[in-house]
Chains A and B, each alone.
Chain A
Amino acid sequence: MALTGLILFNVANSIAVLVLLSLGLGVIYGMMKIINLAHGEFLMLGAYTTVVSTNAGLNLWVAMLIAAPVAVGLFGLLVERLFIRFLYGRMIDTMLATWGLSLAVIGLITTIFGNTVRGVAAPFGGFAIGGYQTSLYSLFVIAVAAVMAAGLWLVLRFTRFGLIVRATMQNPNMAAALGAPPPQIYMVTFALGSALAGLAGGVLAPVSGVSPVMGSAFIARAFITVLGGGPAIVTGTGLASTLFGGISEVATFLTTPVFGQVALLLAALIMIRILPQGITGRLLRRSL
């Protein structure tokens, strides 16, 4: 019973991590069709913001929940204004630009902080599920992922901003004719996706080694989840995270963490074969 509880908790944590890794990318790719190959580095910048801020004496919660999303959101805003806005509708060019950006950011961070792994101590400590000890911080990660997904859904579904964003992503020319300026909408949406990536990086900093190349460990899983989820950003990301997170965690439990990753990739391959437009490309198409 306790073992089942532990496995379920780990599955929930695995799903939460995928949600955190993917939501920002979901906003940028899912809504704007920008393949941001620097997404992993946006996460990494969020993690570094947390590390640097806490080392400078800022409260850890403020560092990861406020400083990280604000810093990376502003960085995203700058990137959009300087590069991305000239490349809308040019997918290959955008991929090249963001790939170049990812290499530049890795190089810059390596130059500043060195090629070493840093970290911040996870707060809270542990708690017991039966006879098994596990991290209380993982519960916080699950809560943040749930709040982030629910918050994004609520914003997109019920606010005027969400309505304008959804309309602009469907038909920017028509949105413009109704008074919504697409360049500004794109700018804000890109910054929002970047801020979500920064928040994810900040929250994951205490449970992952913070290094200049940490983004490469995240990017594949983030893309797989977003593509697997399909066009509905929140529902799709949630469903794909549940599917892939569940399979990966169960496979990890039964075998090894390496095979857990292999199982995730295999599941993604099979799913894309069956549902090429992702889960919400076929099912729940009206969802967000």
Chain B
Amino acid sequence: MMLQVEALRSGYGRIPILAGVSLAVAKGEFVGILGHNGMGKSTLLRTLMGYLPATAGRVVFEERDITRLSPTARARLGIGYVPQGREIFPALSVHENLRMGCLLSSRDERRTIEDVLAKFPRLRRLLDRTGGALSGGEQQLLALARCLCGGPQLMLLDEPTEGIQPSIIDEIVEILQALQRGNEITVVLVEQNLKFIAELSQRILIIQKGAITRETSPEAVQDPALIAEFVGMAA
């Protein structure tokens, strides 16, 4: 397994959010995580990235215990993170944002950016524009492209379709499916967009009250009864 999470607990200050999350992700897998708002989806990714300390349990990445490592150390081991809200650098140009993404790339910076731009043609004409001047969808593409510049083995994707226009969601699906076909990367995807998560995930984990309570297939998220019971969203 590339990623193993064992009875992971964490939260904000004294407020516990994750109450013993356990999951395993194999190399090349795309795993979706679904759940109500406030069930701990984003907290799980923030804890996996090292922003929130684990109060119990452990995280093992490529057979190495990374539970106590800083976000920078995790990034250096090959974990990429695309946060909710994109968090691009608003005062840096698109090109500079991509250069920041290349910090961990072992390849030539120019060539890395060229390769990534080939997957994100929309960004090519925006290279000189500041990140803050982009639309939400363009910012999401930039956040994804920036993450891919570092060549991560595992990418943690937090609600990439939130507030994004449908045409760009389709672009994101195509880009991620191309990565999936090429077996280039492993992805843990947190989403509330059921169509998106079903199109991309090989299996879906349902999180409730800070713990994974059920594993299901992408096809099952079309079942309104299951969704109403475990996710609280309309399919």
Per-residue contact bits, chain A 164-175, to B (CB 8 Å; 1 contact, 0 not): 101100110111
Are A174 and B83 in contact (CB-based, < 8 A)? yes
A interface, size bucket = 10 to 19
Are B103 and A180 in contact (CB-based, < 8 A)? yes
Residues of B60-82 at the interface with A, using a CB-CB cut-off of 8 Å, are 70-72, 75-76, 80-81
Within the complex, which residue of A163, A166, A170, A179 is in contact with B72, where a contact is CB–CB below 8 Å?
A179
Residues of chain B within 8 A of A166, CB atoms compared: 89, 91-92, 96
Are A177 and B81 in contact (CB-based, < 8 A)? yes
Are B70 and A178 in contact (CB-based, < 8 A)? no
Are B92 and A170 in contact (CB-based, < 8 A)? yes
Are B103 and A164 in contact (CB-based, < 8 A)? yes
**B residues whose Cβ falls under 8 Å from a Cβ of A:** 49, 51, 70-72, 75-76, 80-81, 83, 87-92, 96, 99-101, 103-104, 130, 146, 150
A177-B83, A179-B72, A286-B130 are known contacts; what are 10 more A-B pairs with Cβ within 8 Å? Answer: A163-B96, A164-B103, A166-B91, A167-B92, A170-B89, A171-B89, A173-B51, A174-B87, A178-B150, A286-B91
Query: Which 3 pairs show the lowest CB-CB distances between chains A and B?
Result: A179-B104, A179-B103, A176-B71
Nearest CB in chain B to that of A182: its residue:
B72
Contact of A130 with B by CB under 8 A: no
Rounded to whole angstroms, the CA-CA distance of A172 and B100 in the bound complex is 12
Interface CB pairs A-B, < 8 A, 15: A164-B100, A166-B91, A166-B96, A170-B89, A170-B91, A174-B83, A174-B88, A176-B70, A177-B49, A177-B72, A179-B76, A179-B103, A180-B72, A180-B100, A286-B91
Per-residue contact bits, chain A 142-182, to B (CB 8 Å; 1 contact, 0 not): 00000000000000000010011011001101111111111
Residues of chain B within 8 A of A164, CB atoms compared: 100, 103
Chain A nearest Cβ from B80, distance in angstroms:
8
Nearest CB in chain A to that of B90: its residue:
A170
Nearest CB in chain A to that of B156: its residue:
A177
Chain A nearest Cβ from B168, distance in angstroms:
21
